[in-house]
Chain A
Amino acid sequence: MKLPLFPPVSGRFVRVWQRNLTVYKKSWKVSFIPPLLEPLLYIAAFGLGLSGLIGDVSYQGKAISYVDFVVPALLATTIMYNGFFETSYNSFVRMYYQKTFDAMMATPLTMPEIITGEIVWAATKSVLSAALMLPVLSAFGLLSYPASLLTLPLSILGGLAFGATGMFFTSIVRGIETFNLPVFLFITPMFLFSGTFFPLDQLPAWAQGVALFLPLTHLVLLARAATLGLWSAILPFSLLYLAVYTLVFFPLALTKMEKRLIK
């Protein structure tokens, strides 16, 4: 892999990914529960509870049910959380408490390969959770096919974007409790204000402008287009934004982690 800005990374990063997979397989039964159960909880809360109060939502000139509106946002936020939390809290534990990266440095692996393996693993968890949610949501007839299958490649991109974001914060936090800051200042506001629970046009114009810079906004737009099978002119821009965002934060995470750990 030779890209501008990227430090050299050989295919050996897969070994790091394999290590995480080996650990994951030991507890897959527990790990599978949240992506399978969470959609049920949301469908119950929004479908039975909120929907009655809200009724239909007007989205791109069409009236859609509130559940149809929220479900793709649920997919997008799950992709975000799986990517971000894997490379923030989990990677930090491996780096700082378990000395896993130190041990790997005693092998032919380089730091950029270790970090790439971690970020790609985070994206893998995003894909896994999306793949587990799809059949559950389909069972309620909430997804239109085949467009909804596009959420899978989308979860790779989203997983890489938020995996790189989490790793970037891991490279700069002082201790594990410091992650509270990016969570409450960046991740939680995105969860609430990225066109997730209400359409962006409900926000004042300035806030809509801010929201357009949030990566989750674009992930939600793309996911919603896929699950509803609704295409619009902004989608290529959203895709481009996510790609550029990833191409900035991925190499940034690699170089910052190298700076943090190689002394």
Chain B
Amino acid sequence: MDAVIAAKNLNKMFGNLTAVADVSFSVAAGECFGLLGPNGAGKTTTIRMLYGFSPLTSGTLELFGKSIAENLCDIKFRIGICQQDNSLDPDLTVLENLMVFSRYFDLPRQTAADRALKLLAFFGLEHRAAAKTSELSGGMQRRLVVARSLINQPDLLILDEPTTGLDPQSRQQVWTRLEELKRSGLTILLTTHYMDEAARLCDRLVIMDHGKVLVEGKPADLVRRHVGREVLEITRPDQSVRDFLAQRGHEFEDLGHRLLVYDQSCNGLFADLAEQFRDADCLLRMGTLEDVFLRLTGRALRE
């Protein structure tokens, strides 16, 4: 199948700063693809390159099989973009935000009105159609931004951190809606630094850091490959535990007050540890994407 997005060796320099270095990925039709990474990893810059807001320093970028260099306007008719910053129009009401936006896509008024009302209902905003955007809660504003990015019925939806700053209820609702859109066949590109979000929504993803792609794969495969199925956490470890692990030849990550053992089968180890040491301080849990992320990008604070 033809790729909806084919990005090859994307590079972006801001003066001497390399924001994106040799990033390649492709997204197939109907797929939900994730760009993950800590703050400053180059996710937003990559997204901005996709819709011509940030010209490439080098590399090739094709959307729907067409180069964005020559076909940007045609391409932009077919994509919906939900930017990271809230860019709702505060001078307009909720409904007007959708209507004015629809004009940018040359939609006939009646078509736009039908779609706008459907989208408001889909995102649970129909009762706030006449409200000012500043009167909406953060979650409602975010839902309205996503609704707005669907007004042109895009073939590709690009979401830059769609749930950052939302409460758990709002996140769940956004996710449910996005899952419905996914089921309807919409191709989605998503950036996030919430690993649960990526694990739930993304069919495939890349983890980026310092402008580079570190790994690519399906969430479950990445967990298996880089962490193992299970992770053993030992809190308040003493030297004897460390000696025990080293003696048994287990690799572990030492955080000082906590040890993390990533292993393909921690089961036996967990039983032995619990028997020989205090079992209250040992926890065996499923490996998660967050483990993969932290292993690959490190635990140092960013920015």
Contact = CB atoms under 8 A, between A and B. Distances in A.
A167 B269 CA distance: 68
Interface stretch (B84-92, B163-171, B182-190, B294-302): B84-92
B246 interface: no
A250 B182 CA distance: 44
Contacts of B96: 22
Find the residue from B86, B104, B149 having the highest chain A CB count within 10 A: B104
Contacts of A22: 92, 96, 100
A62 interface: no
Contact of A105 (B53, B80, B103): B53
Contacts of A138: none
Contact of A100 (B89, B105, B149): B89
A1 interface: no
7 contacts: A15-B103, A98-B87, A99-B85, A102-B53, A105-B52, A106-B81, A107-B101
Nearest to B152: A107
Interface string A190-230: 00000000000000000000000000000000000000000
Contacts of A108: 73, 76-77, 104-106
Interface in B133-157: 149, 152
Contacts of B106: 12, 15, 108
Interface band, chain A: 20 to 34
Interface of B: 14, 51-55, 72-73, 76-77, 80-81, 83, 85-92, 96, 100-101, 103-106, 149, 152
Contacts of A98: 87, 89-91
Contacts, number: 68
Interface in A103-125: 103-110
Given A102-B85, A262-B54, A107 B92 contact: no
Given A107-B105, A108-B105, A263-B14, A19 B100 contact: yes
A23 interface: yes
Contacts of A105: 51-53
B90 A19 contact: no
A120 to B, nearest CB: 15
B245 to A, nearest CB: 49
Contacts of A10: 73
Contact of B76 (A23, A26, A100, A107): A107
B54 A103 contact: no
A93 B83 CA distance: 18
Interface in A1-38: 10, 12, 15, 18-19, 22-23, 26
**9 tightest Cβ-Cβ pairs between the two chains A and B:** A107-B104, A103-B87, A106-B81, A99-B87, A23-B91, A108-B76, A102-B87, A15-B103, A105-B53
A106 B83 contact: yes
Contacts of A12: 104, 106
A102 B85 CA distance: 9
B293 to A, nearest CB: 28
Given A105-B51, A106-B81, A262-B53, A100 B87 contact: yes
Nearest to B77: A108
A214 to B, nearest CB: 33
Nearest to B78: A108
A103 to B, nearest CB: 4
A103 B86 CA distance: 9
Contacts of A104: 104
B89 A263 contact: no
Contact of B83 (A15, A23, A103): A103
A263 B104 CA distance: 22
B86 A109 contact: no
Nearest to B148: A103
Nearest to A22: B100
Nearest to A10: B73
A12 B73 CA distance: 11
Find the residue from A18, A26, A100, A103 having the highest chain B CB count within 10 A: A103
Contacts of B51: 105-106
Nearest to B99: A22
A107 B52 CA distance: 10
A109 B89 contact: no
A109 B92 CA distance: 19
Contacts of A18: 100, 103
Nearest to A261: B53
A10 B96 CA distance: 24
A201 to B, nearest CB: 46
A102 B104 contact: no
Contacts of B83: 99, 102-103, 106
Nearest to B82: A106
B54 to A, nearest CB: 6
A108 B53 CA distance: 11
A99 to B, nearest CB: 4
B72 to A, nearest CB: 8
A23 B100 CA distance: 10
A102 B148 CA distance: 14
